[in-house]
Structure 1
């Protein structure tokens, strides 16, 4: 019987039995090997802070409104960066066969039935450690943010937050020709940022603030663009302070609650700063239809496959799926000790 990660209430998560999934035409059955946990979005489900748990999303008007929340506990189907082996295909499927290893989005579940078109172009690159396939979604999020920053060769770009997505954004910014000034509160993550190619690193508690230190470092003009990925309103304010006049700030964190610490009457107003939201549901409008989610994933995974982006240093924990409660508790209470937490399902390669 398949098993699925289920949030039963705030701060309560377990591995529960699920109904078997029938194989339908045009689909393949995938046995999950590894599934990565998002330390941002999924913690909002774990903590109960996700806006979908409190309000209704009006799809037609694209507004959160008061009413019956869209989601309620128990929550299943979360998780969006998986790797597994195709074990069965429908009679009308020729693009994949049993034994193919694919990555994609089908949730924290031991077995899934997915449309073949969702994974037929997402085979794991030859020779790549299967665990590394769990970065496909996070890498796409990071690349989307970098594209939103419109990085040009020789520009200074501040990247606030050096968690998994921030570290990937640092590397992708460097590959795009930018000079990264990375900010994080945790010394070990600042060291990793240097390994990803950051030119300079700054602590959150830098005297006068990281933005002031960046202005000194750039001769007073500030950085050309900033990417904020920590999800902290205070960090977003500091990112606004870091850019020069008419600079761009890409707000790519999942901000929770009211924006305490974000003071829009200061540098934002006086320096005419442009704040751009980056969310994986869409690519930067300036790029038009040339870029979509599939292209983000393909470009990122190609960079992982050929070694331009090294993700091995980001895997801090690989734990059995049965230990999912301990995994989320650690992410919640001791985030400094974790980068990428990966769930391992039965049958995964040793």
Structure 2
């Protein structure tokens, strides 16, 4: 059986390469891949060679090969089955068969579709964002005016998760017509950032744009909170702080998946994964997926990602030919 891995050869080309298994440690276990999630924003940076050298350590992932200077084998959310047919999640690049340390695999419930479980790494980002704002998300505050600025991968996952915990007053702020229509079809209120005098107690910003975070600063109410989920890498952002930020006593919280929030001392990476999996029991997340990317088509997909010529979609997954899930 072949074992192909996706490599970004240079900033214009990706290809599938056969994995050399001749020198593998005999203690490693085999995971036959079913699906691996494409985190399009981060992976576009990687595939175009635009990862800042100062961020190499922060963006490195387990089992990555090559370097951010390219070529590189990259990816970080893979679901597959072990040789004893157990469903597992592992942080690993896009590869048909992964060989990993036993300690690096996380067991998954068999009653949740494997494709949905490929969202697990990004869902941990969502759990962190909820923890970072949980002082506002109380049982007595279900009508809290909340905005999610941006309905991409993270914004859509967050919206569906907040809906699960019965928050009723969620507005999606989106400029892209297709994404706005998708959000509306899922039952969310949708608004444009061009509409003035919108005021929210809690805003989650996900667009990774200067315009998006500036809108958030202008649209938070007195003593409002902005949870920043965007990843800017080395991109500089200029903000106007004199008009609204100080006089309204706004708070910006950086929410990032690498660490458990300090105010959650009893939580661990394992407990966070378990909570994320529990959210993923809801089939609403299935409606967020674009059409599967077959492994053989993955190089072409990344060429379209580089060139911004992808068809409309929110979340992309590579599907592997190993096992019928």
User: Above 0.5 in TM-score?
Assistant: yes
259-268 or 37-46, which deviates more: 259-268
Maintained 8 Å contact 1:142/1:169: yes
What is the aligned partner in structure 2 of residue 227 from structure 1? Answer: 204
- Report the Cα distance in structure 1 between the residues aligned to 2:79 and 2:186, rounded to whole angstroms: 24
- Report the Cα distance in structure 1 between the residues aligned to 2:165 and 2:113, rounded to whole angstroms: 25
Maintained 8 Å contact 2:4/2:18: yes
Is residue 116 from structure 1 mapped to residue 102 from structure 2 by the alignment? yes
Alignment equivalent of 1:166, drawn from 136, 155, 177: 155
Unaligned runs of 5+ in 1: 60-69, 88-97, 215-221
Superimposed CA distance per residue, residues 153-211 of structure 1 (whole angstroms, 9 cap, x where no aligned partner): 3212111111121111112223334321111122332343345553x21124x344xxx
Unaligned runs of 5+ in 2: 59-66
Maintained 8 Å contact 1:170/1:197: no
What is the aligned partner in structure 1 of residue 274 from structure 2? Answer: 298
- Report the Cα distance in structure 1 between the residues aligned to 2:43 and 2:247, rounded to whole angstroms: 36
Structural RMSD (CA): 2.4
- Report the Cα distance in structure 2 between the residues aligned to 1:259 and 1:203, rounded to whole angstroms: 25
Is residue 30 from structure 1 mapped to residue 31 from structure 2 by the alignment? yes
- Report the Cα distance in structure 2 between the residues aligned to 1:38 and 1:129, rounded to whole angstroms: 19
- Report the Cα distance in structure 2 between the residues aligned to 1:16 and 1:177, rounded to whole angstroms: 46
Alignment coverage as a number of residue pairs: 308
Is residue 349 from structure 1 mapped to residue 315 from structure 2 by the alignment? no
Maintained 8 Å contact 1:170/1:196: no
Is residue 100 from structure 1 mapped to residue 86 from structure 2 by the alignment? yes
- Report the Cα distance in structure 2 between the residues aligned to 1:58 and 1:35, rounded to whole angstroms: 22
Is residue 74 from structure 1 mapped to residue 71 from structure 2 by the alignment? yes
Is residue 186 from structure 1 mapped to residue 176 from structure 2 by the alignment? yes
Summarize the Cα distance change of 1:259–1:313 in structure 2 as closer, same or farther, 3 Å threshold. same
Alignment equivalent of 1:284, drawn from 231, 250, 261: 261
Superimposed CA distance per residue, residues 78-129 of structure 1 (whole angstroms, 9 cap, x where no aligned partner): 2111111112xxxxxxxxxx1112223222111112222332x422432x33
- Report the Cα distance in structure 2 between the residues aligned to 1:297 and 1:104, rounded to whole angstroms: 12
What is the aligned partner in structure 1 of residue 287 from structure 2? Answer: 313
Please report how far the alpha carbon of residue 134 of structure 1 lies from its aligned counterpart in structure 2 after TM superposition: 1.1
SS in structure 1 opposite 2:115?
Answer: helix
Maintained 8 Å contact 1:314/1:340: yes
What is the aligned partner in structure 2 of residue 62 from structure 1? Answer: none
Maintained 8 Å contact 1:104/1:136: no
Please report how far the alpha carbon of residue 318 of structure 1 lies from its aligned counterpart in structure 2 after TM superposition: 0.8
Aligned counterparts, 1:57-68, within 5 A: none
Maintained 8 Å contact 1:84/1:103: yes
Superimposed CA distance per residue, residues 290-332 of structure 1 (whole angstroms, 9 cap, x where no aligned partner): 2233222211222222x2x522111112122121122123334
Summarize the Cα distance change of 1:268–1:12 in structure 2 as closer, same or farther, 3 Å threshold. farther
